[in-house]
């Protein structure tokens, strides 16, 4: 067995097989796989546990993750009925999503904002974590653990779990630790401020720590990493005209903000969600703004290209949403990214304190927005979860300039993404924001609900604009002169979504 990644004599004595590791996990336990995105999940131990289930043993666990795990967990464990509950977010795999949307017998999906899970773990709100399955790239002579790809909630879980199983994949990048900045906030009350005042600040360690006495064993494996595909199939250059127009509209808006003195020419750090729109917007920004930096939850393919090209100076991230070859290059050549790329725990990348201090420009996708500026970013037709809120709420409530992108319609025009009332609300009208479609920018700052309606009508698709205007005017009249702060027609709430469900389109048949 290759023990070259374990320099510590103490941990060398703890090497076990994946089957031995899996034997420690029992039915009903709470298990944490705390990594963010699936590159470095403990796949061998996960597969060994699946083997026990396939052999007929009853195994059902409560799973605390940080985002998508390996397909062995997200797909195979779910399909085998091994996950009783799951939190807080899933992106890459459909198994969790399908089970979460099952009326009876599916898993219980708890959709919490990402930054809060470590606080809930430390506070005991989630109960005990019986076993943590943690991937590391190696162990130093003095027992420090080398992070692999993404930190997630790893240090918090190492501190709080009753027992820990470590897995070292010999194909993981042993040098990635040099890009990590591991930092764990202190205890409450009396916690000290997180000492980040700019995106490039280094505040922690390159390594995790763990009490050896709680480590049940170390599994050595040699398997190809699961380098997930990028979040969207097209590059920014191949984006359709409507998406390119969104990018142009947004850059025009930013240039006005600079010209009118509300923003400096060197922009505040940027956060983006996933998707082709965000990548296209970043590319357009790079043509007009220099010295850009990012302080984000996950980094896009386009952003990494822009680092190599020199149009983005620095990226602080919690994870990677890049194509496999890009991630593979980072893992094989981490030294090329020192001073350009930093990997932080999700609690720090999404921390409200830091987000507010840095004054981020945040750019995220949405499913729909209503005429008052309420936003749905997680559900279809109000009932079916897509992936979860993720970090969107962390950024919405604390960013210097929260911005949201959507095409004005979906399903070839059958659905309007600007509606009288959202079918589900994640981000409320009380978080002043910018909403951008291919038809313009709705600036909802410093506006009452009725003033926001005018902004939202302007960016709606022309096919739906008259319908939205008609709804609003009838609502205004029905509310009367003294009850119209936020004019709504209660009897028509949800009618657009019902029409789409029944007829396949929100367009009126009258």
In a domain, 470, yes or no: no
* CA 301, 179, 3, 21 torsion-angle sign: negative
Please give the Cα distance from 318 to 351 (Å, whole number): 11
Same domain, 253 and 303: yes
Angle at 446 between CA 445 and CA 448, to 5 degrees: 105
Same domain, 321 and 274: yes
Residue listed under structure tokens 């002169």: 481
Retrieve residue 29's tokens.
């336990």
Strands 379-380 and 384-385: antiparallel
Same domain, 255 and 401: yes
Retrieve residue 268's tokens.
């505040």
Same domain, 241 and 362: yes
In a domain, 68, yes or no: yes
Please give the Cα distance from 280 to 306 (Å, whole number): 12
CATH number, position 131: 3.40.1080.10
pLDDT per residue, tens digit, the chain (510 aa), is 899 999 999 999 999 999 999 999 999 999 999 988 767 789 999 999 999 999 999 999 999 988 777 888 888 999 999 999 988 776 656 778 888 888 887 889 888 889 999 999 999 999 999 999 999 999 999 999 999 988 899 999 999 999 999 999 999 999 999 999 999 999 999 999 999 999 999 999 999 999 999 999 999 999 888 766 545 545 556 789 999 999 999 999 999 999 999 999 999 999 998 888 998 999 999 999 999 999 999 888 889 999 999 999 999 999 887 777 788 889 899 999 999 999 999 999 999 999 999 999 999 999 999 999 999 999 999 999 987 888 888 999 999 999 999 999 999 999 999 999 999 999 999 988 999 999 999 999 999 999 999 999 999 999 999 999 999 999 999 999 899 999 999 999 999 999 999 999 999 877
pLDDT of residue 91: 61
Q: Which domain range does residue 84 map to?
A: 9-221
Same domain, 387 and 304: yes
List the catalytic residue out of 184, 297, 438, 455: 297
Task: Note the residue count of the chain.
Answer: 510
Same domain, 89 and 166: yes
Q: How far is CA 312 from the centre of its chain?
A: 21
In a domain, 506, yes or no: no
Instruction: Give the count of domains, the chain.
Output: 2
The predicted model scores a pTM of: 0.95
In a domain, 255, yes or no: yes
In a domain, 88, yes or no: yes
In a domain, 228, yes or no: no
184 tagged catalytic: no
Retrieve residue 55's tokens.
């052999």
Same domain, 313 and 414: yes
Residue listed under structure tokens 């005990």: 128
In a domain, 272, yes or no: yes
Q: Among residues 186, 221, 256, which one ends one of the domains? A: 221
Please give the Cα distance from 36 to 34 (Å, whole number): 7
Q: Among residues 164, 197, 221, which one ends one of the domains? A: 221
Structure letter (DSSP) for residue 289? -
Q: Among residues 221, 256, 272, which one ends one of the domains? A: 221
Same domain, 210 and 242: no
Q: Where are the beta strands (DSSP E) in 347-454?
A: 361-365, 368-370, 375-376, 379-380, 384-385, 401-405, 409-410, 415-416, 418-419, 434-437, 440-443
pLDDT of residue 252: 99
Same domain, 216 and 355: no
Same domain, 325 and 365: yes
**Residue 131 main-chain phi, psi, to 5 deg:** -140, 135
Same domain, 179 and 37: yes
In a domain, 469, yes or no: no
How far are the Cα atoms of 23, 90, 91, 480 from residue 113, in angstroms, in the given order? 32, 12, 14, 39
Helix (H) or strand (E) holding 384: strand 384-385
Same domain, 307 and 368: yes
**Residue 142 main-chain phi, psi, to 5 deg:** -90, 15
Across the beta sheet with 418-419, what order do the strands follow? 375-376, 368-370, 418-419
Structure letter (DSSP) for residue 331? H
């Amino acid at each position: 067995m290759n023990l070259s990644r374990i320099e510590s004599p103490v941990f060398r004595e703890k090497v076990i097989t994946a089957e031995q590791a899996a034997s420690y996990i029992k039915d009903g336990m709470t298990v944490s796989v705390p990594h963010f995105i699936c590159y470095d999940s403990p796949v061998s131990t996960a597969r060994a546990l699946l083997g026990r289930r396939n052999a007929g043993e009853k195994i059902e666990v409560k799973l605390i993750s940080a985002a998508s795990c390996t397909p062995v967990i997200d797909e195979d464990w779910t399909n085998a009925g091994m996950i009783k509950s799951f939190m807080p977010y899933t992106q890459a795999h459909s198994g969790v999503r399908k089970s979460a949307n099952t009326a009876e017998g599916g898993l219980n999906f708890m959709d919490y904002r990402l930054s809060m899970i470590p606080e809930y773990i430390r506070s005991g709100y989630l109960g005990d974590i019986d076993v943590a399955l943690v991937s590391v790239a190696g162990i130093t002579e003095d027992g420090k653990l080398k992070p692999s790809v993404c930190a997630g909630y790893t240090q918090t879980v190492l501190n709080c779990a009753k027992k820990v199983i470590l897995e070292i994949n010999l194909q993981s990048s042993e040098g990635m630790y040099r890009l990590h900045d591991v930092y764990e906030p202190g205890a409450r009350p009396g916690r000290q401020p997180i000492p980040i005042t700019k995106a490039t600040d280094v505040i922690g360690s390159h390594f995790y720590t763990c009490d050896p006495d709680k480590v049940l064993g170390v599994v050595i494996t040699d398997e190809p990493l699961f380098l997930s595909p990028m979040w969207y199939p097209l590059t920014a250059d191949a984006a359709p005209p409507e998406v390119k127009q969104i990018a142009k509209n947004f850059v025009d808006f930013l240039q006005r903000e600079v010209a009118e003195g509300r923003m400096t020419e060197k922009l505040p750090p940027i956060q983006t969600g996933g998707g082709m729109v965000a990548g296209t917007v970043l590319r357009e920004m790079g043509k007009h703004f220099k010295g850009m930096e990012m302080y984000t939850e996950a980094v896009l393919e386009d952003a990494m290209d822009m680092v190599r090209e020199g149009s983005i100076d620095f990226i602080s991230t919690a994870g990677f949403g890049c194509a496999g070859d890009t991630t593979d290059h980072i893992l094989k050549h981490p030294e090329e990214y020192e001073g350009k790329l930093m990997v932080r725990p999700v609690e720090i990348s999404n921390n409200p304190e830091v987000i507010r201090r840095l004054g981020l420009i945040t750019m995220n996708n949405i499913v729909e927005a209503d005429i008052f500026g309420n936003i749905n970013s997680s559900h279809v037709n109000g009932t079916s979860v897509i992936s979860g809120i993720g970090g969107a709420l962390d950024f919405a409530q604390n960013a210097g300039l929260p911005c949201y992108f959507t095409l004005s319609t979906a399903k070839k025009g059958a659905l309007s993404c600007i509606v009288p009332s959202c079918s589900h609300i994640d981000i409320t009208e009380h978080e002043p924001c910018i909403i951008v479609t291919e038809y313009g920018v709705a600036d909802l700052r410093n506006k009452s609900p009725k003033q926001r309606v005018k902004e939202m009508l302007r960016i709606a698709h022309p096919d739906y604009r008259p319908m939205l205007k008609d709804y609003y005017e009838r609502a205004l009249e029905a509310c009367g002169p003294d009850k119209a702060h936020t004019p709504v027609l209660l009897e028509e709430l949800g009618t657009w979504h019902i029409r789409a469900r029944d007829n396949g389109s929100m367009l009126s048949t009258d």
